[in-house]
Amino acid sequence: MKVTVFGIGYVGLVQAAVLAEVGHEVVCVDVDQNKVENLKQGIIPIYEPGLTPLVKENYESGRITFTTDAELGVKHGQMQFIAVGTPPDEDGSADLQYVLAVAGTIAKYMDDYKVIIDKSTVPVGTADKVQAHVATALAERGADIDFDVASNPEFLKEGAAVADCRKPDRIVIGTDSERVEKLMRELYAPFNRNHDKIIFMDVRSAELTKYAANCMLATKISFMNEMSNLAEKLGADIEQVRKGIGSDPRIGYHFIYPGCGYGGSCFPKDVQALVRTSQGIGYQSELLEAVERVNYRQKDKLMANLNHHFNSDLKDKTIAVWGLSFKPNTDDMREASSRVLMESLWQAGAKVQAFDPEAMEECQRIYGNRDDLLLMGTKEAALQGADALVICTEWTNFRAPDFDFIATTLKEKVIVDGRNLFEPVLMQERGFSYYAIGRGD
Ligand code: UGA
């Protein structure tokens, strides 16, 4: 099938590449000329396992092309995906200007039937807005052309985006049109072979499904972080509690890892957006507001532990930071806990020596050159001359470090671990002051 994807971000690019891989002819449109040129040369704007060879291969075979020419994009695909960003407005609600701009562009150039598919995470009611926007623009053109608007939210995880997209656990499609159902079934047939993963529903339910999924996951994390704080105060070990509750299949082991707060471009933004949507309709979401507050508090936890150890005197101390990205296998630092920590450290007059396997460039881009931030080439180098080590991200190669080296390199044997990578008893035996999450003071 002929497919056009507007917006070559995480979601758009991965979806486009995977659709091309199974044989669809995909045109990707973006306003960023530089990004488009880079993609043509095989330079991928993000770090995502497996994505570079996938894009290259499909570009070389001609199944995927990149352009800034919106008219070409609109003329190409019967299926028109909108996958542009919906950044938070000042008040936290999703900003729809880019989505509506694409809708306007499609209306401007279309000359036959199109299915316009909202792939971006958009507030409930957006498909109706897109519908109205396109209808008005077509009427202004005096064009009487049929179209449908469907909602098809994306559930991929960063760091596993290609795999998630190739093997989705569900494909949620919001539409009330049989014609769209048929076309979407055809589009997704290659991903729907073993059992039927497509769940058709009305448009508003599909839009809310996306928020409900992310808010549920964020709630699980904040719940566990709340429990971890209680465990600390009550002399219990959250890791034992985690195993104890996860064994109940109604709760499950997934996504109940306590830590230094959730980050990334999705959970913080989506929880906030649903809180704002609720407020907008006069409903106060007590639960989601608490989920957000608990997360803010949790992100301060690493600094609180350092303050506790150093009696709130961090001036002129050097802190080694392992892990800058908001989670492993990505270079994304949006809403990362490491940022809250580093910014607090700088405010307290401390210096940061950081290492991350992928996010160093991103960190440099965000913070530029400053005297109190040194980006080190290895995790070992980050320890040189540092007073303490803080672990913000559970990258695989942080899991079994050389503890003797850490002990002899750090000025004080202090590890603040935001991801519960080690056993507190063993750490004590090794002579460390070890501060984990919810595992005793
Ligand atoms: C999240 C969802 O998991 C995806 O299903 C969704 O499609 C995506 O948002 C989106 O809306 O686009 P992602 O942001 O890539 O995916 O990251 P996650 O793997 O969900 O992790 C989010 C944060 O939660 C990370 O900071 C991670 O460290 C934290 N987390 C995760 C925990 O603190 N504990 C856990 O048990 C799991």
Domains observed in the chain: 2-200 (3.40.50.720), 211-297 (1.10.1040.10), 300-435 (3.40.50.720)
Q: Residue 64 Cα, ligand 1 centroid: separation in angstroms?
A: 28
Nearest protein CA to atom 6 of ligand 1, as residue: 155
Please say whether the dihedral angle defined by the alpha carbons of residues 262, 263, 268 and 270, taken in this order, is positive or negative.
negative
Catalytic residues: 266
Look at residues 16, 25, 110 and name the one whose alpha carbon lies nearest to residue 70: 110
pLDDT mean over 287-316: 98
Question: At what angle are helices 97-109 and 126-141 packed, to 10 degrees?
Answer: 30
Which of 217, 269, 331, 335 gets mutated to test ligand 1 (max ligand atoms within 8 A of its CB)? 217
Q: Which residues are annotated as a binding site for NAD(+)?
A: 30, 35, 86, 121, 158, 269, 334
Element (H, E) at 201: strand 198-201
The C-alpha atoms of residue 398 and residue 420 are separated, in whole angstroms, by 11
Residue 167 neighbours by CB distance under 10 Å: 11
Query: What are the phi and psi torsion angles at 341 (to 5°)?
Result: -65, -50
Question: pLDDT-based confidence at 354, cuts 50/70/90?
Answer: very high
Residue-wise pLDDT for 53-99, tens only, equals 999 999 999 999 999 999 999 999 999 999 999 888 888 788 999 99
Q: Give residue-wise pLDDT tens across range 355-393.
A: 999 999 999 999 999 999 999 999 999 999 999 999 999
Residue 29 clears pLDDT 70, i.e. is over it = yes
How far apart are alpha carbons 300 and 338 in whole angstroms?
10
The rounded percent of the chain whose pLDDT value lies above 70 is: 100
Q: pLDDT band at residue 341, thresholds of 50, 70 and 90?
A: very high
Complex ipTM > 0.90: yes
Distance from the alpha carbon of residue 242 to the mean position of ligand 1, in angstroms: 18
Edge-to-edge strands of the sheet including 351-355? 373-375, 351-355, 318-322, 388-391, 414-417, 433-435
In this prediction, residue 441 carries a pLDDT of: 63
If you count them, how many residues does the chain have?
A: 441
| Model pLDDT for residues 92-150, shown as the tens digit of each residue | 788 999 999 999 999 999 999 999 999 999 999 999 999 999 999 999 999 999 999 99
Residues with a CB atom less than 6 Å from ligand 1:
121, 154-158, 214, 217, 221, 255-257, 259, 262-264, 266-267, 326-327
Atom 13 of ligand 1, residue of closest alpha carbon: 157
Best residue for ligand 1 mutational test, from 327, 340, 341, 395 (most atoms within 8 Å of Cβ): 327
Q: Give the CB-side neighbour count of residue 404, counting CA atoms within 13 A.
A: 0
Q: Write down the pLDDT at residue 271.
A: 96
382 contacts 353 by C-beta, under 8 angstroms: yes
Confidence of residue 189 (pLDDT cuts 50, 70, 90): very high
At how many degrees (to 10) do helices 203-234 and 267-280 cross? 110
d(CA 146, CA 111): 9
